[in-house]
């Protein structure tokens, strides 16, 4: 039996595996909830203004590193107990930038900076309200759009636009809170994605009929529209860092499209489409493209994979029992942050240079200091910024 066959057997689900997992995970979660609580730690500083919590800095602790010579094949755990060498408090990030974290207590900023492209503002949605606040918690402007605002996304540097959804409509507003306009109706409940080009306000989004649209939000010109090669409920759209590829994640695969807006349909008034470059079958978690190039990271069946978007070649960088909820690239592209809710841990995995894993446990309580009961596991909203102007 060769290595290829072993990998095929590893990926193939066992008979009844899904049903068994559905029965087993409630027991695992119950055991996790009933575990002995860790000793309380020094909490993060958090100015609270208008019901919005912002973290000023993180508690200090030593970060555990794997041996420098560890083979770069993946880190395997037999049970959902987490990384055994994890430290019980968040120290510093292993590289530059700042993290925006969303917890049940509100948004937090780790390492005292913002998440707009210049690190000056954070945009927050709460019910019908869209609010821009400074890292110090000062509300710069707010807007109410009933019934509910969601999925707010800043445009790339210098961050002059914000796209957000209200119900089944898509709207765009200036970064200063002015010029709010309706861009599209009957859109899918999926966050839009800005083309990563400075000063080019081009947005990709999915509509309720399963089509992808690429639009210049300043001129309202539709640059491309197409249907998926294999239709399915759209969960995510994401641009590669160079803006040449657009990934569309569905419930059963990731489809990669190129030549966007360059494919002529030979009819005047009909926007161009795109070419399917690659398709990766399987149920993947949220994907994120690297800050440079065309690699992306996504989790699947207890593995974190770095995938070449054009080649489809997948490189496992982390393997464990259980599942990972989110992955983020560091701004310099050397590290991945992997969220592991079942273990209540964050794993910082170095994927460029010497392989390392830095683990931090007790993440739920870290962002819910003083809270009673079992804290909810926070969501990652972004890792910003490599340098001013990036």
Confidence of residue 16 (pLDDT cuts 50, 70, 90): low
Residue 121: C-alpha distances to residues 118, 143, 199, 347, 371 (Å): 8, 15, 18, 27, 27
Per-residue pLDDT at 341 exceeds 80: yes
Mean pLDDT across the stretch 210-229?
Answer: 95
Confirm whether 99 is domain-assigned.
yes
Q: Which domain holds residue 265?
A: 61-384
Confirm whether 17 is domain-assigned.
no
Rounded to the nearest 5 degrees, what angle is found at the Cα of 377, between the Cα atoms of 373 and 381?
145
In sequence order, the 6+-apart residues with CB closer than 8 A to the CB of 366 are: 41, 43, 44, 58, 59, 89, 90, 360
Confirm whether 15 is domain-assigned.
no
Is cis: bond before 262, omega within 30 of 0?
no
CATH of residue 184's domain is 2.130.10.10
pLDDT of amino acid 106: 77
Cβ(227)–Cβ(217) below 8 Å:
no
Q: DSSP letters along 15-77, please?
A: TTHHHHHHHHHHHHHHHHHTSPPPPP-PPPP--EETTEE--------PPP---TT--TT----
pLDDT of amino acid 262: 78
Tokens of 153: 């996304």
Confirm whether 35 is domain-assigned.
no
Share of the chain above pLDDT 70, in %: 72
Confirm whether 305 is domain-assigned.
yes
Confidence of residue 111 (pLDDT cuts 50, 70, 90): low
Tokens of 226: 């197409």
The size of the chain, in residues, is 390
Of the candidate ranges 54-63, 184-193, 201-210, 234-243, the one whose mean pLDDT is the lowest? 54-63
How many domains does the chain fold into?
1
Confirm whether 48 is domain-assigned.
no
Per-residue pLDDT at 181 exceeds 80: yes
- Number of other residues whose CB lies within 10 A of the CB of residue 122: 27
pLDDT in tens, 269-289: 556 889 999 999 999 999 999
Per-residue pLDDT at 229 exceeds 80: yes
Cβ(184)–Cβ(207) below 8 Å:
yes
Compute the mean pLDDT over every residue in the chain, rounded to the nearest whole number. 78
Is cis: bond before 39, omega within 30 of 0?
no
For the chain, give the longest Cα–Cα distance.
Answer: 67
pLDDT of amino acid 12: 52
Confirm whether 3 is domain-assigned.
no
Q: What is the pTM of this model?
A: 0.74
Confirm whether 343 is domain-assigned.
yes
Check residue 207 and report its DSSP letter: B
């Amino acid at each position: 039996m060769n290595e290829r066959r072993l990998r095929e057997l590893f990926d193939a689900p066992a008979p009844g595996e899904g049903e068994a997992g559905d029965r087993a995970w409630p027991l695992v979660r119950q055991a996790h909830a009933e575990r002995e609580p860790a000793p309380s730690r020094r909490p993060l500083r958090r100015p609270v203004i208008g019901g919005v919590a912002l973290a000023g800095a993180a508690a200090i602790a030593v970060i555990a590193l794997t041996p420098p010579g560890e083979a770069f094949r993946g880190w395997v755990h037999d049970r959902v107990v987490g990384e055994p060498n994890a430290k019980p408090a968040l120290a510093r990030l292993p590289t530059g930038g700042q993290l925006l974290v969303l917890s049940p207590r509100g948004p937090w900023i780790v390492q005292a900076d913002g998440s707009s492209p210049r690190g000056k503002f954070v945009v927050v949605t709460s019910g019908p309200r869209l609010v821009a606040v400074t890292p110090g918690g000062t509300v710069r402007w707010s807007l109410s759009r009933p019934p509910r605002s969601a999925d707010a996304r800043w445009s790339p540097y210098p961050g002059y636009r914000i796209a957000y959804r209200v119900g089944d409509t898509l709207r765009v507003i200036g970064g200063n809170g002015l010029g709010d306009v309706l861009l599209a109706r009957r859109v899918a409940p999926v966050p839009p994605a800005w083309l990563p080009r400075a000063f080019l306000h081009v947005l990709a989004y999915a509509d309720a009929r399963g089509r992808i649209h690429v639009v210049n939000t300043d001129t309202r010109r539709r640059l491309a529209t197409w249907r998926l090669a294999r239709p399915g409920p759209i969960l995510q759209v994401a641009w590669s860092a160079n803006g040449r590829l657009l990934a569309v994640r569905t419930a059963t695969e990731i489809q990669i499209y190129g030549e966007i807006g360059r494919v002529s349909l030979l009819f005047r008034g009909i926007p161009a489409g795109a070419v399917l470059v690659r398709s990766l079958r399987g149920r993947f978690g949220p994907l994120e493209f690297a800050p440079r190039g065309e690699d992306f990271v996504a989790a699947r069946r207890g593995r974190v994979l770095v995938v070449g978007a054009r080649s489809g070649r997948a490189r496992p960088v982390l393997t464990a029992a259980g599942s990972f909820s989110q992955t983020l690239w560091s701004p310099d592209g050397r590290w991945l942050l992997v969220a592991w809710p079942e273990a209540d841990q964050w794993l910082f995995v170095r994927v460029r240079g010497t392989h390392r894993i830095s683990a931090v446990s007790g993440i739920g309580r870290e962002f819910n200091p003083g809270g009673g009961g079992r804290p909810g596991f926070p969501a990652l909203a972004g890792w910003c910024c490599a340098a001013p102007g990036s």
